[in-house]
Each structure stands twice: as structure tokens, then as C-alpha cells.
Structure 1
Amino acid sequence: MSKGSYDFGLVGLGVMGRNFILNVTDNGFSAFGLDTDPEKVAALKQEGEGKPVDGTIDKKAFIENLSAPRKIMLLVPAGGPVDAVIEDLLPLLDEGDLIIDGGNSFFTDTDRRGDYLNEKGIYFIGSGVSGGAKGARFGPSIMPGGDQKAYELVKPIFEAVSAKVNGEPCVDYMGTKSAGNYVKMVHNGIEYGLMQLISEAYTVLKTGLGLSNEQLHETFTKWNQGKLKSFLVEITSEIFTKMDDKTGKHLVDLILDKAKQKGTGKWTSQNAMDLGIPVPTIDVSVSMREISALKDDRVAAEKLYESPAIPSVGLTVEDVEDALYFAFIITYAQGMTQLVAASKEYGYGCNLEVISKIWRGGCIIRAGLLEEMRKAFSKNNDLSSLLLDEGFASELNANAGAMRRVVGYSVAGGIPASGLSASLSYFDSYRSGRLPLNLIQAQRDHFGSHTYERVDMEGIFHTEW
């Protein structure tokens, strides 16, 4: 192809970047890549042989090969590397060119970069991309936010490369400023919660009910064919069949129980607190990863404390399925409520129906439940919580009994189930017209003269206790 004729540029040719750029070329667009590592450039050329794709380590050649206005996506680590690439490319760009940050950048960084580039006449989009390497190659869910005019420049490419559900692309404009990165952050927070809940269901089934790995595979496979149908349940079923090629044992049993994290779950939890929005299932999922890191302490503590006997009766596999479904709804509801609050606080203008729609395919938290969420927000896009939707209220009522049995069983048997417990506690608190926080207000007034309100008359009051 001739100079200046490539439709799309991508910086960062690691696994995600290489897969994404090849996806672009598979869908009718030409693309040019840039990386500082010659081996990654060579890998792109080799894998893209015969396709309208090329790459270089020369930033000037990279810019010269892109058609105007240039559309350049960055798939580099969040933080300093994003700023460094922007500064590197900026002198070579023209007014009206577009930079897209496709990484998991913190939303305030996106706002800062958008303001900075806008002053220089360069468009900027912060865009969440979910689906992992396979999604990048064959169809991710994409969450772009920023100037809507900027999104229109890349909309045909993003719609072509995204996952499709019923022929609908799993990409749409999320809102102004950093809306795209914020939506992706909450997506990841929900992901943390769902993964924690699945791990707790696994330990109840394995430690409590004594299911073998083969039975666990069968159970999760069956669940994925019903109301728990989702990407995370699907891959969980597959994990139980994987054998270790070194020992011949089930690989899942040989993996160290220390879960790592990249920070997006923590960001979700921290910002929810800033907004005054409770997301306890997400909070505890972050805490459990931190507790898991205390491996030496946990092994030592295990020797100090007695473990209660596992209850011999009173729970079924179906109970665990219903409880997990209940907790899934609660976790999605917490994340969606946070998005409602953030959209108002930051002026994003998010559409919750649209977000539910594009999460139905391509992304890690895709699940059958999301179509029901889309319908709920279609009926009322101002819905403050999914728990106030009659359809979801019916589902929660139908499964609450199983949830209480599973949590009670776990407590009695000393099985850690903090995510399930937090989900149930959130539900019980949310559905309570009166909470015992009147006592807390009395305490605050007693020790600090912080005042209180009354249920029987208007005004602010203080008592000399």
C-alpha cells in the first residue's frame, strides 16, 4: 500500500495489540502498527502476511503511513507509558487527528489527557476494551468515551471489529470525557465480584458437598446452560477438566491460592466510597485477594484454630446454583447503581440500556442476565437500582431462601463465603425500610454533638445526653 493510505494505526504490538490490529484488517480496513520491539513488529508482519497490515519501529514512518485524519489507538500499559507515547507522537500529528487510549487508565488521567490534547487541537478518546486476547482478535466489547465527534471518526472500525449479539455491535458511545474508561473500570469491579462469588460456590461444592473435579465440571456445565449462562461460568467448567502435563493431576488443585490484581477492582471500590455508593460484594472481592496474599500467615493460623464440622445435611447443589444466581444479580445491581451515580456526578450522560447491551457479548462479564438488565433499563433508564425493578425483585424473592441456606451452611461449617454473605447483607439492608442507624446518629450526637434528624418532625436537633 502507498504512504498515507492506512486507515488505522496501533501503538503497542503485544498480544492484545497484535490481535486487535489483525481483527481490524479482517474486517475490511488497513492498519499500521508501531512498537519499540523489532521482534513484535516482525511477529505482526508474519501473522498478517497477505493482509493489508504493516508495522515499524520508526514513529515518523508510522505517522506518515496513516491517512488523514489519523486514527491512532494505544494499547500500552496504563499510567506513565500512555503519557510518554502521547508526548512522543504529538510533534508529528496534525490538528484533527485522533488518539485513542485502549488501556485500563484511571478515569481522572483520561480527563487530564483529554483537556491537554484538546488545547492542541487533537481529539482524544478513552476507550475500555474487554474480552482478553481472544476477544481482541475475534470481537471484543468496546466502551469509548469523550468527544462524540471524535468517536464518529472511528465508529465504522469499532463497529466492524466488535463482538456481535443478534447482529448488533457490542460497542457504543458511552458519554463525555472519561465515561469510557469509567464504564470499563466498573465492568472490572463487577468482574472481581463475580469471580469471587464463583470461587465461593466452588468451595461450598467441593469442601462442603464433596464434589469431585469431574462433578464440578458437570455442575458448572449444566449451570451454564441455564440462568447462570455466562462467560465466567463457562470457563470455570472448562478449568476442572484441565490436567497438568507435569504430574497428570488436575491443574486447578496445583495452583497456589494467591490471587493477584491490577487495580481496577480497587479503583471501583475506592471511587464508590467517594460517591457514597455501597458496593460491598465488590469491596469484599478486593479484600479477599488481599487476604489470599497472606499465605504464610494463613497457613500458620490454620494450626492455631479449630475448624467447625461441616454440616452433614441441609444443602443441595441446586441451592448453591440459586444462591450464586441471586448474588450475580446483586453484584450487577451494585455496579449499575455506581454507574448511575457517577454519570450524574461527572456529567457523563451514560445510558444504562446501552451499557447493558454492549456487555452482552465480547466482554468478560457477558451473561444471559444482561439482556434482562437491558430490558429493565429500556423500560426506565432512570432506574436507580435493579433491585427496584419488578422483574428482578421477583427473581430475588424466588432465590432468597436458597441464598440464606447457603450462607447459613457456610457460616456453620467455617467455609469462607464473604462475597455471598455481603450480597445477602446488602439485599437485607436495601429492602429494610428502617435500619438501626438511628442509634449511630444518637451515638454521634452524644460524643460529638453532631446533631440528628427526627422521624416525627422537621429540623436538625441536638440533645445534652
Structure 2
Amino acid sequence: MSDKTGSAQIGVVGMAVMGSNLARNFASKGFKTAIFNRTYAKTEDVLAAHPEAGFVASESVEEFVDSLEKPRRIIMMVKAGPATDATIDALLPHLDQGDIIVDGGNTYFPDTRRREKKLSELGFNFIGCGISGGETGALLGPSMMPGGPKDSYAHIGPILEKVAAQYDGEPCCTWIGPDGAGHFVKMVHNGIEYADMQFIGEAYDLLKGAGLSATEAADVFAQWNTGDLDSYLIEITSEVLRQVDARTGKPLVDVVVDAAGMKGTGTWTVMESLNLGVPAAAIAEAVFARAASSSPELRAAAQAALQGPDGTINTDDRDAFVADVRQALWCAKVIAYAQGLHLIKVAGQQYGWDIDVAACARIWRAGCIIRAKLLDRISNEYAAGNLETLLEAPSISAELANCNDAWRRVVAKASEAGVPIPGFSSALSYYDLVRAKRTNAALTQGLRDFFGSHTYRRVDTDGTFHTQWSGDRSEVEAVDSH
């Protein structure tokens, strides 16, 4: 037994920026923190750079595990995928039953479900914890979304809650639900983030189409950030638009290649919405817009072949148009939250997680990328009643009604001018689709029955029916619907 044995309260594996910053956060909150990296040179760099943290460093996995008090609490900050499995396999031989492993990476939730099941059968506790806020959040306080065995949260929860971001004295961290619930919620958080950034980009394109310079648009976003659009992404949009490129003297946004990258979480959100049959088209359009931006051959061919307006928006009152864009942006953001939270609600029911949707909104109020003033209202509305959708919340539906005309004017203006707004227009179509008393799905069912005998139900009687289209077109009651 060394003098390090059982000396640390929490351990962090993986000393890249996120891992080292999270370890520094633990240390700054008074927790004795053990650190480990597969290559010890990286650990030495962290030790040298942050002597004030008083880290307990180890060169081997065995020594690292030994340095932790029991039950051991280990947070892995390693690349999602095979590296996560490899790290777990390296840790397991040295752990005791009841020890807790936390995966803090951007992991696809089915992988978390698989790992939790495997480790539970071996007597270990496995927690999949979504962490949002980037490098700064990891250091100063992220939003944290842990899911796994609830009894293990008693051992790890108080530590996570202390290092998480705080909002009005409340930690932006809560137990989300069993097995993969935490990583699922983080996945949807990122899907909403994709949509939010797409809407902001569309708003900027609209302002630009109306003749605003990047600097003028920056001023508009800064002003918007003082009202009901107050959010981290709106705030930094102003900063990005104000940045001048040192090499050319142009706005930086004009010299950045217009091809947006993706790391998978937005795509996973759309895949899961399709899997569960939950409409989330506004989020999907944001993912597809990034895909289109990164398809140079497609764009080159279309630019050479297609005709249309040049994106110039003619308006008699520019200030009024800017005000309309603000309202349209707010409406679109609400739709993205509504779609994401509905997906979380349905997944909670489907996977047996029983997720508190109000709590999800509550822990996103600080620390994370989609933190926004709007989340206060959203969390309160979900806490006040059992909402099927955010859109039925009294304060939300009333505000959407107030902004409706502006939203429609913006979508119409953009269409006339040739400004691509897949997010704004999809969000508006969703709004109209879910409020419609009758949809065109009745015709779809008729067509399906015609070519595939897929049957249909009637509005005036129970049962399932089929029209004998290739015969005398009489209606018969079907035994089985398929």
C-alpha cells in the first residue's frame, strides 16, 4: 500500500483539454482529484501546467485505481467508441464491486445501454453522463446529464452537482433516468443546438439580404440578446459577426469557407426521431443544411444550372423587417425546443426512463451551449402541467400567436427573394401541421390502400376497412390491418 492509496475522492481518465479542465474544476471545488492518461507524458504536462490543483497522478491504471477512495468514482473523458470500451476493459480488472465508472463523452446512447447492462451484471455501476459547455464549461461549470443506476447517484451526484454550472443557486445537473437516458438527453440537446445555429444563420442571411453589413447585423444580435432572445448563441453570434479578419480587413464571416462540420449527435437525433416516429423536421433540416453546405459538387452543379432571385430583400421599412426577423427567430427556436423535448418525452416512455422534461429544461439554463432565457419559461411550463407538447403551454402558445404574422411575412419575403430558410419554413410548416384539424394523411391512406391494400380507418365508425379498387370498389371490413 502506497501513501497514495485511497487518497483521492474522484478520478479522471483522459487528459485532453476537456478531461484536464474537468479535473481542474473538481480540484478547484475542493475535491482531491486523481488523474490518468494512457501516455504519461500528457499527465506530466498537466501536472506542470497546474501545480495548484494538487493532482494525484499515476503512471499505471493499477496505481490510478488504487489512489481512489471506495466506492471508487472514475470519470472517463476519452473519445467515444472503441477508446471508451478499451478504457473500461483496462479499468475493470482493478475495480471492486460497487465502484462507479462515468462516461463523460459524446456517446451514442445505445452504446451506453449496452455498457451499463454488461457492467451491472459484473457488479459495477456505470453512468453515461452528457456534458455540455465545451472546454470553458468543463473548467468553470458545465451542464451535466447523468443517467444510470439511481442508487449510485447518491455517491457521485453531490460531486457532479458541485462542479456543474449553477443557476439561481440550483445546480445544472440532475439524475436523468436509467441506463442511456443521460446520453439520450445530451444527444437531443445537441440536436436542438444544430437547429438553433441554423436559425441564427438564416436570420443573418435575411438581415444581409435586407442590406445590413456584418457589423450592423452584429449590433442587431447584441440588441436582441437583451430581450427574449437572450442566449449564449445569440451573444456569441454578435461577437463572431464583429470579428475583422487581420489578413484581409474583411469581416471574418466573409472569409470562412461556408461548409459546416458535424460530429454525429445531430444526425443521431434525427435518426432516433425517425425510429420513434416523432416529427422533428426543423432539427432534421438543420442537419441536412450542414450536409448541403458540405457538398461542393452538388452546389457547383446547381449554381451552374438553376435560376432564381439573387437573395436581395426589398423592404420599405428595414427596421420593421428586422423586428419581424426577431419574432420569426424566436418562433423557430420554440419549435426546435418543442420537437426536441417531445422526442425526450416519447423516448422516456418507450425506453422506460420516465424522464422529467421540466428538469431537462432546468439544467440547460446555464453551463450548456443552448442556455437561454427562454428555458426559464419552458421549465416552469413543464413543471406546471403534464404537457404533451411545449406548444400547448399557455405563455408559449400566446406568444406564438402574437408573432405569427411576422413569422409568415419573413418566410414569404425570403421565398420571394430566394433566401434559403429551410429551418424557418420547416418550423412554420410544423406549427401549421400539428394545429390542422385535418391533414392530407387521409389521401395518403387512400393511396396506400389502392396500391397495397394497406387498409384505413373511418371517422364515423370503428374498425379497419379496405376498398376493392380492382373489383367493384365496394368497401369491406378488413380482418387484419397491415
User: Normalized against structure 1, the TM-score is what?
Assistant: 0.97
The answer as to 2:450 corresponding to 1:446 is: yes
Which residue among 54, 57, 65 is the counterpart of 1:55?
Answer: 57
> 1:109 maps to what in 2?
111
> 2:479 maps to what in 1?
none
> Can you list the C-alpha shifts for 1:127-176, whole angstroms capped at 9, x where unaligned?
00000000000000000011011111111211110000001110001011
> 1:302 maps to what in 2?
303
> 2:347 maps to what in 1?
342
Count of equivalent residues? 463
State the Cα distance separating 1:51 from its structure 2 match: 2.3
> 1:368 maps to what in 2?
373
3-state SS of paired residue (1:376): helix
State the Cα distance separating 1:48 from its structure 2 match: 2.3
Between the aligned partners of 2:262 and 2:134, the Cα distance in structure 1 is 15
Stretches of 4+ aligned residues off by more than 3 angstroms: none
The answer as to 2:130 corresponding to 1:128 is: yes
AA at the equivalent of 2:341:
M
AA at the equivalent of 2:374:
L
3-state SS of paired residue (1:236): helix
State the Cα distance separating 1:295 from its structure 2 match: 1.9
Between the aligned partners of 2:297 and 2:256, the Cα distance in structure 1 is 16
State the Cα distance separating 1:269 from its structure 2 match: 0.5
AA at the equivalent of 2:36:
L
State the Cα distance separating 1:117 from its structure 2 match: 0.6
In the TM superposition, 1:16-415 aligns within 5 A as: 16-206=18-208, 208-309=209-310, 310-313=312-315, 316-380=321-385, 382-415=386-419
Q: Unpaired runs of 5+ in structure 1?
A: none
Between the aligned partners of 2:32 and 2:243, the Cα distance in structure 1 is 38
Which residue among 422, 426, 429 is the counterpart of 1:422?
Answer: 426
3-state SS of paired residue (2:207): helix
State the Cα distance separating 1:47 from its structure 2 match: 2.9
AA at the equivalent of 1:255:
V
Between the aligned partners of 2:4 and 2:91, the Cα distance in structure 1 is 21
> Can you list the C-alpha shifts for 1:302-351, whole angstroms capped at 9, x where unaligned?
23222315341266110100000000111100000001100000011110
AA at the equivalent of 1:358:
I
Between the aligned partners of 2:68 and 2:249, the Cα distance in structure 1 is 51
> Can you list the C-alpha shifts for 1:5-29, whole angstroms capped at 9, x where unaligned?
1011011110000000000000010
State the Cα distance separating 1:296 from its structure 2 match: 3.6
CA contact (8 A) 1:29 1:52 kept: no
Please, what is the CA RMSD of the aligned residues?
A: 1.2
The share of aligned pairs that are identical, in percent, is 42
Between the aligned partners of 1:412 and 1:135, the Cα distance in structure 2 is 42
Between the aligned partners of 1:418 and 1:164, the Cα distance in structure 2 is 35
AA at the equivalent of 1:246:
R
Between the aligned partners of 1:254 and 1:299, the Cα distance in structure 2 is 19
State the Cα distance separating 1:55 from its structure 2 match: 2.5
State the Cα distance separating 1:4 from its structure 2 match: 1.8
CA contact (8 A) 1:45 1:54 kept: no
CA contact (8 A) 2:282 2:427 kept: yes
Between the aligned partners of 2:160 and 2:175, the Cα distance in structure 1 is 11
User: Normalized against structure 2, the TM-score is what?
Assistant: 0.94
Between the aligned partners of 2:354 and 2:468, the Cα distance in structure 1 is 46
Between the aligned partners of 1:104 and 1:51, the Cα distance in structure 2 is 26
> Can you list the C-alpha shifts for 1:388-446, whole angstroms capped at 9, x where unaligned?
11211101101111111111111111111000010000000011111121111111111
Between the aligned partners of 1:234 and 1:49, the Cα distance in structure 2 is 34
